[in-house]
Amino acid sequence: MDLIQHNPWDELRAHTSARIALGRVGSSLPTSEVLKFGLAHAQARDAVHRPLDFAALRSELKAHGFRCLQVASDAPDRPTYLLRPDKGRQLQAACSARLQQETPAPELAIVLADGLSSVAIQRHALPLLELFRQRFDTDWANTPVVLAEQGRVAIGDGIGEALCARLVIVLIGERPGLSSPDSLGIYLTYQPKPGLMDSQRNCISNVRPEAPALCPGRTQAGLPRPPGPAPAAVRGRAEGRQQPAKRAGQLTGLAYGVMVEPPIKGDPHALVCLADHHPRARLHRRQPDAVA
């Protein structure tokens, strides 16, 4: 005998990973849903507290031909990083001095920061960099990929300035949700320097295999979609609303803001076009939040 009273919204569950139409048993949730919630909560906590294996990531990047550097923020440990966001935004003075002695970036610097989900960087950083290298016409042999320990978004400003980069791209683990412990954010800052506001950046958010696919006619190179139907909507972080997913394809995520200066030679809007949002999508200026 089935004791679960099913919700009339059941059919919508095929289109979203949000916790809707869970059903009930009497006045309570079904045991299976309670257990799934506990698992998701544990995965989110692990994503925040699990240290990123920088040695393994650096080894993988070097094996794929990327120029790797490593730095740290002013946060000496994870508890300080979580309690003092300002320290995660600041590049260590010794690291800044060391970067200034390195060969300057040709035009682009890429920062991989553990952020609030080391799992996201460990899983997705290398596949995304491979996609970048296929798409962008730049001097990849000399383009620095900087691993930033205990870093937040703004640490890219000091790194970009020290390396004389024209554009800095920060790939960072986003604040995990109960359905997205491995979500990645891509932050773009033109002419980086310390002291810039978040409104001077652009962001592609919610980059992960389970996110809505927004590029037409392409395959998931490097980020294979898991089995099952793709979600039809993803929560817009800027306003907390639903965005429809209209297309199938390669890179996934929501784009906020518009590039106002050509970042890469030969492809003026490459990074925003890489997300390839549908023409009717509204673009929103990034608002400050806890990940910055």
**Domains identified in the chain and CATH numbers:** 54-275 (3.40.50.11240)
pTM for the predicted model, two decimal places:
0.70
For residue 10, which phi and psi values (nearest 5 degrees)?
Answer: -50, -45
Buried b / exposed e over 208-246, threshold 16 CB at 10 Å, is bbbbbbbbeeeebebbebeeeebbebbbbbbeeeebebe
Instruction: Tell me the pLDDT tens digit for each residue of 88-110.
Output: 999 999 999 999 999 999 999 99
Are the CB atoms for 212 and 232 separated by under 8 Å?
yes
Distance CA 116, CA 50 (A): 9
Would strands 241-244 and 233-236 be described as parallel, antiparallel, or unpaired? Answer: antiparallel
Instruction: Tell me the pLDDT tens digit for each residue of 102-148.
Output: 999 999 999 999 999 998 999 899 999 998 898 888 899 999 999 99
Distance CA 214, CA 252 (A): 6
Confidence check: pLDDT of 68 > 80: yes
Q: Using CB atoms within 10 Å of the CB of residue 3, give its burial: 0 to 12 exposed, 13 to 18 middle, 19+ buried.
A: exposed
Instruction: Tell me the pLDDT tens digit for each residue of 220-248.
Output: 333 444 444 433 333 333 333 333 333 33
Confidence check: pLDDT of 158 > 90: yes
Confidence check: pLDDT of 207 > 80: yes
Q: How many CA atoms lie within 13 A of 74 on its CB side?
A: 14
Instruction: Give Cα 119 distance to the centre of its chain.
Output: 11
